Amino acid sequence: MSAEKEHVAINKAHWDGMADHWVALGERLWALEVPEWGIWHTPDRRAPLLPTDMTGMDAVELGCGTGYVAGWMARRGAKVTAIDVSPRQLETAKRLALQYDAPVTFIEGDAEITGLPDAAFDFAVSEYGAAIWCDPAVWLREAYRILRPGGRLSFLGTHPLMILATPQNGAACDFGLHRPYRDMGRIDWSDAEVEPGGMEFNLSFEGWITLFADIGFQVTGYRELYASKTNTTELEHVTADWARRYPTEHVWWLQKSP
Ligand X SMILES: C[S@@+](CC[C@H](N)C(=O)[O-])C[C@H]1O[C@@H](n2cnc3c(N)ncnc32)[C@H](O)[C@@H]1O
Q: Is 133 in the site for ligand X (CB under 6 A)?
A: yes
Residue 3 vs 229, nearer CB to ligand X: 3
- Give every CB contact of residue 168 below 8 A, 6+ residues apart in sequence: 178, 179
104 binds ligand X (CB under 6 A): no
Task: Check binding of 69 to ligand X (CB under 6 A).
Answer: yes
Question: Is residue 65 close enough to count as binding ligand X by CB under 6 A?
Answer: yes
Q: What does the alpha-carbon distance between residue 202 and residue 185 come to, in Å, rounded to a whole number?
A: 5
Counting contacts by CB under 6 A, is residue 135 touching ligand X? no
Contacts (Cβ under 8 Å, ≥6 apart) of 252: 153, 154, 155, 208, 212, 219, 221, 222
Residue 208 interacts with ligand X (CB under 6 A)? no
Please say whether the beta carbons of 201 and 135 come within 8 A: yes
Q: Which of 58, 112, 200, 249 binds ligand X (CB under 6 A)?
A: 112
Q: Which is nearer to ligand X, 100 or 181 (CB)?
A: 100
Helix 87-99 and helix 23-30, axial crossing angle in degrees, nearest 10: 30
* 84 touches ligand X by CB under 6 A: yes
- Residue whose CB is less far from ligand X, 104 or 134: 134
Question: How does DSSP classify residue 35?
Answer: -
Residues that bind ligand X (CB under 6 A): 8, 11, 15, 22, 63-66, 69, 83-86, 89, 110-112, 127-130, 133-134
